[in-house]
Amino acid sequence: MFACFLGNSIIFFELRVLFVKYYKICGWARGESYFNVMDLLKSLGHPEEVFNLLWFKMRGCNGLVPKTDMNNMSNTLRTCYLYLDQTSRSFAAVIRALDGELRDAVCIFYLVLRALDTLEDSSSIPYHIKAPLLQSFHTRLYQPLWNYSESCEKDRQVLEDFSTISLEFRKLALVYRDIITDICWQMGEGMAEMLESKLFTMDDWERYCHYVAGLVGIGLSQLFAASGQEEEVIREDTELANSMGLFLQKTNIIRDYLEDQQEGREFWPKEVWGKYAKTLSEFTQRECMPAAVSCLNELVTNAMQHIPDVFTYLSHLHNPDVFTFCAIPQVMAIATLAACYNNTQVFRGVVKIRKGLAVTLMMEAKNMTAVKDIMARQTLEIAEAIKPEDPSASETHHVVKKVLRLAQSEDQDRLIVKSRWTLCASSFLVSCALIVAIVSWHYLATLKDILAWD
Ligand code: D61
Ligand code: MG
């Protein structure tokens, strides 16, 4: 009796600590932090995700150590990092984890291109004003007083206070300024060229994604080499760097179908959706769902074509911080594609990957083997969702096989076994957690009775 009393009090004590922390956590429930209790519940079937979410919250780190020392930087640079946090959910943490002068160069590169993109996305600016604005934007980098306050977009602060960003830009070494100016000029020209054109052919789609994301990959590769943190070879193969951008941009365009529809924007290529509907907006109608899903699956299959180049590009990187910076957005993208594949929710809302999975991917994507494993696991999820009657089923099977071969996980059995193992481990752990919860609850109740009785 005494032993189990002691045992239970230890469990109770442990749980009390946990609950105290839990109630602190509940601050999360009011959305005061990166995730809330709902995210914990969504990951209940994936204990490693629950563990990583709690670890992330308790230790405040998702495996990424920010290198920014906010106390030892100029006010204007601090403002720039603030704008980075405000305008980029997915890139702020990985940019802050970069080393040395490369970090500030990439931060400014991001903000300058985000400002250019905010001009492009501003539907309130008429074509005859927007096109020249985009084409001459690179010249604003050397106009200290230039700001722009006619945009009503969500990220307008980077335009309204562009003079702060351009000030920090002019403090960068010339080699970085020349790269940023050149990419900004090319992207502005490309955006202006495609402002009025509808994305008809796959070539149009590839070219648009090259201008708004491929050029980012090419510019980053030049910054990596210029900083000396990566070898010259990384800047030479622009096709690989372009694919890094296209994989991310195509994933975003596929996921954001409904959000873009609601804002009157269409980025899906007509050459594909035209096979399934007369207008792209038809996919919002329930009766068009089978056709919509077939179109979605064809676009996901197309985006996966870039994975072999992503593997080759990442395998050329030597600096661990640069590797993580490049790998994390890519593994988030394949997880997003796996969540979108064959999913009617794409046409009803925005599909997001679980926070628990996002944190786990950030913690895991540390080296090539881990990245290949993640890509293979997510690709297998797509493989398991392929319906034989899907018009793209054979192409999807083909690209899945290619990715698994390159990820050296031909022995799908090992991956399937692995995922089966995690599954039974998870249900085992979940049942343990439930038992502990029930026992502690029971204990709490008795303790209250005992105390009340006193
Ligand atoms: C390695 C690491 C990161 C990489 C990369 C390689 C290659 C390409 C990219 C990042 C860019 C990926 C873009 C995917 C998200 N799409 C957008 O942000 C669209 O705007 C594109 C034009 C502005 C690009 C701004 C940018 C983004 C990420 C960066 C960066 C610059 C600089 C350094 C590091 C990362 C999309 O915008 C969404 C929005 O308005 O919120 C759009 O308008 O289509
Ligand atoms: Mg845009």
Reported as a single tens digit per residue, the pLDDT across 190-205 is 999 999 887 889 999 9
Q: Cα(252) to centroid of ligand 1, in Å?
A: 10
Q: Cα(239) to centroid of ligand 1, in Å?
A: 17
377 is catalytic: no
The pLDDT value recorded for residue 30 is 46
CA distance 85 to 88: 6
Tell me if 113 CB under 6 Å of ligand 1. Answer: yes
Q: Are 372 and 408 in contact (CB under 8 A)?
A: yes
Mutate to test the pocket of ligand 1, among 117, 172, 253, 317 (most ligand atoms within 8 A of CB): 117
Q: Is 378 helix (H, G, I), strand (E, B) or coil?
A: helix
Q: Cα(116) to centroid of ligand 1, in Å?
A: 11
Tell me if 237 CB under 6 Å of ligand 1. Answer: no
SS (HEC) of the chain: CHHHHHHHHHHHHHHHHHHHHHHHHHHHHCCCCCCCHHHHHHCCCCHHHHHHHHHHHHHCCCCCCCCCCHHHCCHHHHHHHHHHHHHCCCCHHHHHCCCHHHHHHHHHHHHHHHHHHHHHHCCCCCHHHHHHHHHCHHHHHHCCCCCCCCCCCCCCHHHHCHHHHHHHHHCCCHHHHHHHHHHHHHHHHHHHHCCCCCCCCHHHHHHHHHHHHHHHHHHHHHHHHHCCCCCCHHHHCHHHHHHHHHHHHHHHHHHCHHHHHHCCCCCCCHHHHCCCCCCHHHHHCHHHHHHHHHHHHHHHHHHHHHHHHHHHHHHCCCCHHHHHHHHHHHHHHHHHHHHHCCCHHHHCCCCCCCHHHHHHHHHHCCCHHHHHHHHHHHHHHHHHHCCCCCCCHHHHHHHHHHHHHHCCCCCHHHHHHHHHHHHHHHHHHHHHHHHHHHHHHHHHHHHHHHHHHC
Task: Write out pLDDT tens, residues 421-430.
Answer: 555 666 666 6
Looking from the CA of residue 118, the nearest atom of ligand 1 is 40
Task: Write out pLDDT tens, residues 152-194.
Answer: 999 999 999 999 999 999 999 999 999 999 999 999 999 999 9
Tell me if 209 CB under 6 Å of ligand 1. Answer: no
255 is catalytic: yes
348 is catalytic: no
Residue nearest atom 13 in ligand 1 by C-alpha distance: 213
Report how many helices (DSSP H) and strands (DSSP E) the chain contains, helices first: 23, 0
Residue nearest atom 4 in ligand 1 by C-alpha distance: 217
Q: Is 124 helix (H, G, I), strand (E, B) or coil?
A: coil
Return the H-helix or E-strand segment holding 40.
helix 37-42
Q: Cα(116) to centroid of ligand 2, in Å?
A: 8
The pLDDT value recorded for residue 427 is 64
Instruction: Tell me how far apart the terminal alpha carbons of the chain are, to the nearest angstrom.
Output: 21
- Which candidate in 96, 103, 255, 377 is catalytic? 255
| pLDDT lower than 50: segments of the chain | 23, 25, 27-32, 410
Which pTM does this prediction carry?
0.87
The pLDDT value recorded for residue 21 is 53
170 is catalytic: no
The pLDDT value recorded for residue 409 is 53
